[in-house]
Structure formats: C-alpha cells, structure tokens
A and B are shown apart, each in its own frame.
Chain A
C-alpha cells in the first residue's frame, strides 16, 4: 500500500507551483513536507488528497489513479485536515466531529452504532469529550484544533493529510497535537503533515520531503535531509545542529539569516 505522486506538475495561473514531483508515502509512517512559503507544500498536499488535479503526472492510491476512485471511497480512505481552523457556522464540537463519518453514512440516516463508536473513539484519542457540547467557534485555538483533528480521525482514514495543523497553537498544544499524529501512525495510518518548525519536523517525521520552488529537493530521514547545507540553501538560514535530547533526534538552533551569519 502506498500513496504515490508520479512526476506531478501543476501551474496556478502562469506560475509553476509543482515541478515534476515524485514521492511515495507509506502506511504507519509520518512524512513531513517542509519548505519556505510558496514552495508548493499545500498544493502537493491538496493533490495527494485528490482536491487539485495536476496538469501532468498522477497521484496513485495503491495502483489506482486517485481521480478514478468514487468520491465516497476516496473520502473513506483519505482524511484531509485543511489549514484554516475557522468554521463558517458555529456547530457544536460533537456535530463537527460527527461530520467525519459522512463518507460512511447514508445522507439522511441516523448515526449507526459503528458511527457512534468511531466518534467516541476519536473524541477519546483527542481528549475532546469535555467540550463536546460547546459551540466549536467558542473554543480556544488548541481545543478547536483537537476537534478538527477528531473530525478527521472519526472517519477512520487509511491516510491522514494535515496542512499546518500547529498554526496558532501554543507550544504545549503543538506537542499535544503532534503526539496525536504519532498515535495515528502507530495504528497504521499513513500521515503526511505540512510543518514550518524544523525541530517539530525532526521530532515527528519518519521521512522529510524538502520542497523548494515547486521541486522536491530531498526526501528521506531527518538526519539525512535536515543538514545545515540543505537548510541554508532552502530556507536561507544559518543553523547549528546539536545532538539528540529528550525525544528530539536532533536540535536545530537557528543562528539567523545565512548572509548575516556569514
């Protein structure tokens, strides 16, 4: 089983945002997409989720092009957590989480026992029962992020794609949410996350995909990809790599812009 991008190219307007990207992610592993703003991370994630159609190349889910899958089957297999944490209407947290079961339900049927069990388990996994009956837009940023993650987990997806799930969260909640992704991967989910924090990426990732200017620059374990040279080239940053400590396989200390540090 694999979710694979084959020679993926995509333009938005006249700008080439993805340039012949080939990448394969596997179940039970966390792949982090890293790169500066405009590198093509979100576009790649949306392509992997089947939400953007590439100009050339293909996204394969196992051996089938993702575009050939019925929408419901794709929704059952791939859970997508978009960047925005705002809800248009302030539904109760429980109702938001229950929407994750939509691909498994008949449109007008009451939730089945399996639906209720999946919702309950997702709430337990994200510790959201306490505020399940509160309007989601009245929750704190950390609570709402957990509710939206629970919404995706309630769908029992094989693949979990998340776009900057730590944005606007305080450090404690960032660690908390990352641990939930690790737990999902440990249960067999293939996880792809877009992140900006290099240390979080090093902590959580089994593999890191470095993107720059729409191209895949490097793909592999953190120790091989997050080198000072690669970080300087891609992020224009001067960094120092310190040894592993307290759950972090490496510590990346930012020393400033590459040129100013020189």
Chain B
C-alpha cells in the first residue's frame, strides 16, 4: 500500500482525558440516580426513604404517581439532551435545539388537534395523534430536503415546518369550540408530567429508547463532520443516510417526548453547552453525558415544580423556559464577548 505504511504502534496517549470523561460520566450517572430518588420523595407530600419498603401508604404514592413520572422525566430529559447534542454536532451550530427542526411543533399540533376534536380525556388518542404529527414532520422533512443531505436545506425545512405547525396550532386555539378546550390546549402546550401513569410509560418509553438508539448511531459521523462536509464525505460519510437516521431518531424520540409531556424546551440547548467545557468539543464524546445530563436536569426541574407553593404546580415547560431563557441570554452575551461583533 502506498502512502504511509504502518510500522509500529504508538504508546497510548490522551488517557488522562479519557479518564476525566469517564469520571464526569460516572458523576452524571450518580447524579441521575440521586435525582431519581429525590423525584420519588419530593412533592406536596414528602415521602421519606424509610416509607418506601414498609406498610406506609406513602409507598402507593411512589408506585402509582411518582415512579412513572420519574421514569418519564429521566427518559424525556435524556432524549432531549441527546437530541440537542446530536443536532448541534450535525448542524455544526451550538445554538441548535430539537425544537428547531419542526418535529416538536408538528407533534404538538397533532396533540392539539386531538384535544380540539374532543379527545382531551383520552391520553391514548392524544399520544397517537401527536406521534402521527411527528411522523408527518419526518416525511415532510424528507420530502423537502430530498436526498441532498444538505444541512442548510434541513434547517430551512425545519423552520418552515415549525412556522406552519405553530400557525395551525394558534388557528385551532382561536376557533376552539369552547373555553374548556382552549384551556386544555394551552395547558397541554405548557408541558407537564402531572398524573402520568405506567400506561404512558409503556406507550412512550419504547419509542423514546428506539429514537435514542438511532441518534446514538450517528456518533462517529458527527465527528467526521467536524472536518467540514467535503472532508467528511471524502472519508466515506453518506450525508443523505446520516440525515435519514437523525430525522428518524428525532421523529421517534422527540415525537414521543412531546406526545407524553407536551413541549418542554431548552433542555437540548442547555445541557450540551454546560457539558462541552467539561468533556471537550468532540461531538461523539458529548452524546452520552448529554443524555445523562438531560435526565438529571429534567428530574431536578420536575421535582422542583412539585415543591412550588400553592395548590397546583408550575408547568414543567414554563419552569424550563424560566431556567433556559436567562441561560440563553448569558450564552449570547458570552458569544458576543468572545467574537468581534462589537
């Protein structure tokens, strides 16, 4: 073989970085376990750890109310964190977020359509309708982008979908048949995990996990894209195939998240940003920590909203927006400082 011929192996270097990343991943996994425990205990009724295994009625609160909610919070947080990291790597843009590509808003439109038609009390119908919306988004994205694999076409198509589904959602709200439907739609759009059961877990979890597996499969290709699209293609990357994997993964993971919890924003934007300084900028190295970080963040946020004063609780989507907006602002200010915009 011409060119460089391998002669002898080099000593393994960079082990310090690998060990550090492993330490961060393990810390996040531990944080996830702790937050999961906190999520089981926290709420209007505090259920201490001692009540978990006795005859205390608190056990039923955990089993019937908090366990499915904690499982969903962990799964949704992980899916959104992973989706954000994958999208930022794929689009080579640190401001990319799963809501950018239109899957979330189209899934939301599907759910809103079901509520509009009077199925507010039928979670299965809402879920199915939202997943139909997500599937429609995937098909429309595929049609709009074609086989080019172009990231710019992907962003533009996502913006078109987001804009269209946002407009249709607003239209449905404006012509809602009664105040109850309007209230249900707006409440659902705010995002929440209140009163979710194991039925919801059984519906959403397999789809979320399947989507996450597809997204995880994109890891090596994301590293190649760091070199730019031409260099990545010259190394054997099929941009069209990668885009199909990512769109399908987002459709399943983000679609199922929105279908079961409503729209919860900012997780996919914040988590990769927080972790990038710790684990480095290599896109593949960011994926698993982002999934764990997303789970930690959403478990913590969902525990906190239950501790809010008053009879009700702050909607999870609102809480994340309240956390995420100042973060986004700080991010922009920081970017402006580091660049020569001013």
Contact = CB atoms under 8 A, between A and B. Distances in A.
B227 A96 contact: yes
B220 A113 contact: no
Contacts of A99: 223-224, 226-227, 235
Interface stretch (B6-14, B200-208, B309-317): B6-14
A191 to B, nearest CB: 10
Interface in B1-41: 1-10, 12-14, 17
Interface stretch (A72-80, A205-213, A234-242, A246-254): A72-80
B5 A27 contact: no
A49 interface: yes
A187 B7 contact: no
Contacts of A103: 235-236
Contacts of B7: 117, 120-121
B228 interface: yes
A156 interface: yes
A151 B227 contact: yes
Q: Give the size range of A's interface with the partner.
A: 35 or more
Interface residues of B, number: 36
A78 B10 contact: no
B234 A87 contact: no
A125 interface: yes
B182 interface: no
A123 B236 CA distance: 22
Given A99-B223, A99-B224, A100-B235, 20 more contacts: A72-B236, A75-B236, A82-B230, A86-B228, A87-B226, A87-B228, A90-B281, A91-B223, A91-B226, A91-B280, A92-B282, A94-B13, A96-B226, A107-B220, A108-B220, A155-B3, A156-B6, A158-B1, A189-B2, A190-B2
Interface of B: 1-10, 12-14, 17, 89, 92, 219-220, 223-228, 230-231, 233-238, 280-283
12 contacts: A74-B236, A82-B234, A87-B227, A89-B89, A89-B92, A90-B281, A99-B226, A100-B235, A108-B220, A116-B12, A121-B5, A122-B4
